[in-house]
């Protein structure tokens, strides 16, 4: 056994802090998976089905893939007695969202040649996804990524996923340090199993149970975490990473110069997913734990992750995330256990403020004199001409690319003499165009046709919805303003609609719940205003509210603040009690 005991019963000195009961089936699945191997290799060799079967359907998530199919054509294929067009979505591991031009050209090539949709989808967790990879291309894809120096290990499943880091390239010094920590965190918390290397990269099996030497997961444990776990490193006051959507955040605290990193505030227990109609599930913002010096970062992270590993609910997956553990045991108990595990006491939280979340679209100059071009990518979807433009830039770019948590693309580190050429390419390919702040700050998850959980359109509806809202803003003389608008195809949280001023959460095709009252800084969860409403009903209500906002707002008042002050919705102060009442 490793230093950190993996048996939760033994590790925990307070057995009553563990939820007792019949373990969720996913616990059996992880336990029996032989450190995430399952029988994935058999499925790869199966001629009959294009999909992954049984436990493997879930296990491939730990390897960064989701089993999906094209839902647009599913009914037609089923009618023809054919198998749905099964494929996988791959999510890369890209801590802090930084990728080199060479790597970009590699992923561009794969997306073009070997995926059904031919797109690169930049996600709001600073990485990219391939959509529509057929089974025969899955193993070659991993080998392709590997030779590019990329992997997709643990970007999904019950593990610590891709670690975010504020993209702000202006404060270059601080950002560089923060990014290095994000990368270290990602690597420190990665599964240590060799399953990924064996299955996808044909690496020799080095461990076998027959030898008595097993794979070892000193931090995550043999059954990994109870649920997905999300981490950010954030440089305030810019909240581009949407800190409150995450289980564990480290808020960078700099010295007075603003250039040298001192340490971090640990902020834990944010998360946005809920289940329609299940009142024990709710989105909530994260809680401050305290300050630690930078050198204690990995210890602190490991303590929080191992605590959640041991205390998290493994009986009910809808209540298994860190935020429910905190709600159950209390923040003080949680904090004390983290301190015990990292053998260090938190200092009081250093003051910090979050002001806004959007990216600064266009050119900005950093501390070191280099220039950075942020390209607005609607929905993060690079396809066709825009994707070609990004590849064109990659061919001549000497710096790097940064994928932002707002699903945009930063061409970072451009010398003065290269600016014009890059800008010309971007313009020629539609990557620089006149857009409103309303559009730039909007967001949607992928949803239909690929996401199996989707209940309604999200990405494909967003542009139309923004068109409509732009018209309303103009009509009411508010065209210089914006409302942070987000659509999620289901309540699982990917579209982060639960941190929007106006959030739509899918219920059924063409129907959504409408949530109002988040704020621009992303520190408040919105409240349900309409239930199961048609898009027509939502647009009508939006028009009414925008008109009222234009007439009744206080000076500079945000839409989210206005709807609360005007009594349109109640402010959510404590999600556990306020979200459903």
Partner 1 sequence: MSDPNSSMPVPVQLTEQLSSLTAQQKAFLAGYLWAESNGAASAVVGLPAAAAVGGAPQRSITVISASATGNAAGIAKKLTEKLKSEALDVTLTSAGSYKARQLAKEDIVVISTSTQGDGEPPEEGVPLHSYLFGKKAPKLDGVSFAVIGLGDSSYPLFCQAGIDFDTKLGELGAERLMDRVDCDVDYEAASDAWIDAAVAKLKDVAGGSGAAVAGAVSAVDTYTHEESAYNKDNPYTATLLTSHPLVTDNAGRIIQHVEIDLDESGLQYQVGDALGIVTNNPSELVDEVLGLCGLSGDENIEGRAGTANIRQALAQQCDLNQLTPKFLADYAATAGSDDLSALVEDKDKLQDFQAWTPLVGLLDAYPQKLEAQRLYDGLKPLAPRLYSIASSQEEVGEEVHLCVGLVDIEANGRVYHGSASGLLSNRLEEGDEVQVFVEPNPRFRLPESGDTPVIMIGPGTGIAPFRAFMQQRNADGAQGRNWLFFGNRNYRDDFLYHAEWIEYRDSGLLHDVSLAWSRDGEDKVYVQDKIRENAEAFWQAIEEGAHIYVCGDASRMAKDVERAILDVIAEQGGKDEDDAVEYLNELREADRYQRDVY
Query: Cβ distance 127 to 107 under 8 Å?
Result: no
Neighbouring-strand partners of residue 196: none
Q: Contacts from 561-568 at CB under 8 Å and sequence distance 24+? A: 561/519, 563/501, 563/516, 563/517, 563/529, 564/517, 568/516, 568/517, 568/529
Residue pair 152/110 in contact by the 8 Å Cβ criterion: no
Q: Is the peptide bond before 387 cis (omega within 30 degrees of 0)?
A: no
Q: How many residues does the chain have?
A: 581
**Rounded least distance, CB 85 to partner 1, Å:** 7
CB 523 within 8 A of CB 286: no
CA distance 181 to 346: 19
Answer yes or no whether residue 80 interacts with partner 1 by CB under 8 A: yes
Answer yes or no: 91 catalytic.
yes
Q: Which of 37, 228, 309, 527 is catalytic?
A: 228
Range in contact with partner 1 (rule: CB under 8 A) among 46-54, 90-98, 371-379, 552-560: 46-54
DSSP3 helix / strand / coil % (the chain, rounded to 5)? 35, 20, 45
Known catalytic membership, residue 451: yes
Candidates 75-83, 376-384, 470-478, 537-545 — which segment interacts with partner 1 by CB under 8 A? 75-83
Which CB sits closer to partner 1, 58 or 152?
58
300 is catalytic: no
Interface with partner 1 (CB under 8 A), residue from 14, 15, 82, 544 = 82
Active site residue 109: no
Choosing from 61, 439, 494, 507, the catalytic residue is: 494
In the window 116-135, what residues touch partner 1 (CB under 8 A)? 134
Pick 47 or 581: Cβ nearer partner 1: 47
Three-class SS of residue 229?
strand
Q: What kind and span of H or E run contains 502? A: strand 502-508
The single residue of 37, 61, 91, 194 carrying the catalytic annotation is 91
Query: How many CA atoms does the CB half-sphere of 468 hold within 13 Å?
Result: 15
Residues 6+ apart with CB under 8 A from 322: 229, 247, 248, 268, 269, 271, 304, 308, 312
Closest distance to partner 1 from the beta carbon of 50 (Å): 7
Question: Using CB under 8 A, which of 8, 38, 50, 366 touches partner 1?
Answer: 50
Stretch that binds partner 1, among 22-30, 80-88, 321-329, 573-581 (CB under 8 A): 80-88
**C-alpha span between 124 and 104 (Å, rounded):** 18
What's phi and psi for 290, nearest 5 deg? 160, 180
Query: Closest CB to partner 1 among 59 and 235?
Result: 59
**Residue from 79, 211, 277, 417 binding partner 1 (CB under 8 A):** 79
Among 53, 184, 222, 317, binds partner 1 (CB under 8 A): 53
Query: Which listed residue (14, 42, 49, 534) binds partner 1 by CB under 8 A?
Result: 49
Stretch of residues binding partner 1 (CB under 8 A), selected from 47-55, 215-223, 275-283, 322-330: 47-55
- Angstrom CA distances, 490 to 12, 454, 525, stand at 35, 5, 16
Identify the DSSP state of 19.
P
* Alpha-carbon gap, residue 155 to 90, rounded angstroms: 9
Least distance in Å: CB of 67 to partner 1? Answer: 14
183 near partner 1 (CB under 8 A):
no
Q: Which are the contacts of 390, defined by CB distance < 8 A and separation ≥ 6?
A: 104, 108, 120, 375, 382, 409, 429, 431
Examine residue 42 and tell whether it contacts partner 1 (CB under 8 A): no
- Those residues with Cβ within 8 angstroms of residue 471's Cβ, 6 or more apart along the chain or in another chain: none
Going by the DSSP 8-state scheme, the letter that residue 93 receives in this structure is: B
Token pair for residue 527? Answer: 């409240």
Binding residues for partner 1 restricted to 509-548, rule: CB under 8 A: none
Residue 77 interacting with partner 1 (CB under 8 A): yes
Window of 74-82, 144-152, 259-267, 457-465 that interacts with partner 1 by CB under 8 A: 74-82
47 binds partner 1 (CB under 8 A): yes
Name the segment binding partner 1 (CB under 8 A); options: 82-90, 253-261, 450-458, 524-532. 82-90
Q: Which is nearer to partner 1, 76 or 368 (CB)?
A: 76
Least CB distance from residue 82 to partner 1, whole Å?
Answer: 5
- Catalytic, 228? Answer yes
Q: Is 45 in the site for partner 1 (CB under 8 A)?
A: no
Asked whether position 81 contacts partner 1 by CB under 8 A, the answer is: yes
Active-site residue, 494 included: yes
Tell me if residue 360 is catalytic: no
The catalytic residue among 92, 165, 300, 445 is 445
CA distances in angstroms from 323 to 19, 25, 268, 274, 336, listed in the order given: 14, 21, 8, 12, 16
Residue with tokens 């494909």: 460
Cβ 33 to partner 1 shortest distance, Å:
20
User: Of 85, 451, 496, 511, which one is the catalytic site residue?
Assistant: 451
Which of 4, 57, 83, 201 binds partner 1 (CB under 8 A)? It is: 83
User: Is the Cβ of residue 49 or residue 208 nearer to partner 1 in the bound state?
Assistant: 49
Tell me the backbone φ, ψ of residue 264, rounded to 5 degrees: -140, 145
Interface with partner 1 in residues 133-172 (CB under 8 A): 134
Binding residues for partner 1, total number by CB under 8 A? 14
DSSP single-letter state for residue 253 = E
In the complex with partner 1, the residue whose CB is nearer, 77 or 197, is 77
The window from 63-71, 78-86, 392-400, 572-580 that contacts partner 1 (CB under 8 A) reads: 78-86
Phi/psi at 525 (5° precision)? -85, 135
> Which residues lie near partner 1 (CB under 8 A)?
47-50, 53, 77-83, 85, 134
Catalytic residues: 91, 161, 228, 230, 445, 451, 490, 494
């Amino acid at each position: 056994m490793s230093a950190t005991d993996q048996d939760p019963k033994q590790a925990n000195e307070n057995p009553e802090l563990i939820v007792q009961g019949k373990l969720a089936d996913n616990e059996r699945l992880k336990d029996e998976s032989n450190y995430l191997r399952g029988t994935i290799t058999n499925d790869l060799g199966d001629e009959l089905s294009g999909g992954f079967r049984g436990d493997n359907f879930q296990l491939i998530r730990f390897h960064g893939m989701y089993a999906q199919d094209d839902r647009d054509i599913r009914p037609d294929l089923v009618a023809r007695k054919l198998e749905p067009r099964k494929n996988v979505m791959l999510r890369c591991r890209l801590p802090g969202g930084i990728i080199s031009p060479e790597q970009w050209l590699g992923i561009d090539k794969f997306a073009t040649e070997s995926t059904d949709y031919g797109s690169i989808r930049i996600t709001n967790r600073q990485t990219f996804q391939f959509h529509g990879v057929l089974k025969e291309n899955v193993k070659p894809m991993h080998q392709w990524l590997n030779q590019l120096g990329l992997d997709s290990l643990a970007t999904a499943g019950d593990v610590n996923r891709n670690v975010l880091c504020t993209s702000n390239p202006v404060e270059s010094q601080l950002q560089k340090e923060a990014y290095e920590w994000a990368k270290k965190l990602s690597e420190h918390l990665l599964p240590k199993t060799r399953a990924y290397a064996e299955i996808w990269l044909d690496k020799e099996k080095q461990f076998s149970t027959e030898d008595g030497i097993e794979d070892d997961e000193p931090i995550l444990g043999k059954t990994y975490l109870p649920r997905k776990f999300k981490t950010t490193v954030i440089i305030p006051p810019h909240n581009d990473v949407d800190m409150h959507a995450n289980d564990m955040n480290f808020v960078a605290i700099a010295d007075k110069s603003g250039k040298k990193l001192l340490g971090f505030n640990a902020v834990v227990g944010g998360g946005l997913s809920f289940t329609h109609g299940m009142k024990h599930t709710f989105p909530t913002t994260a809680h401050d734990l305290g300050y630690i010096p930078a050198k204690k970062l990995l210890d602190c992270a490991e303590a929080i992750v191992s605590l959640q590993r041991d205390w998290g609910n493994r009986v009910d997956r809808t209540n298994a995330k860190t935020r429910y553990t905190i709600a159950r045991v209390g923040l003080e108990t949680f904090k004390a256990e983290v301190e015990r595990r990292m053998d260090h006491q938190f200092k009081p939280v250093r003051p910090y403020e979050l002001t806004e979340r959007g990216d600064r679209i266009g050119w900005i100059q950093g501390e070191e004199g280099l220039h950075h071009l942020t390209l607005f990518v609607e929905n993060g979807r690079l396809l066709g001409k825009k994707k070609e433009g990004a590849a064109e830039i990659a061919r001549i770019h000497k710096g790097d690319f940064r994928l932002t948590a707002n699903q945009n693309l930063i061409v970072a580190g451009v010398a003065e003499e290269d600016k014009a050429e890059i800008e010309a390419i971007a313009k020629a390919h539609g990557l620089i165009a006149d857009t409103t702040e309303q559009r730039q700050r909007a967001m949607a998850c992928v949803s239909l046709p690929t996401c199996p959980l989707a209940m309604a359109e999200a990405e494909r509806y967003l542009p139309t919805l923004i068109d409509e809202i732009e018209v309303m803003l103009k009509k009411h003389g508010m065209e210089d303003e914006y409302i942070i608008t987000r659509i999620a195809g289901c309540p699982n949280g990917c579209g982060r609609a639960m941190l929007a001023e106006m959030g739509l959460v899918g219920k059924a095709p063409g129907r959504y719940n409408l949530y109002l009252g988040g704020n621009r800084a992303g520190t408040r969860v919105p409240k349900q205003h309409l239930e199961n409403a048609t898009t027509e009903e939502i647009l009508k209500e939006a028009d009414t509210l925008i008109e009222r906002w234009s007439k009744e707002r206080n000076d500079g008042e945000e839409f989210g603040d206005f709807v609360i002050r005007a009594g349109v919705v109640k402010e959510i102060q404590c999600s556990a009690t306020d979200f459903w009442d």
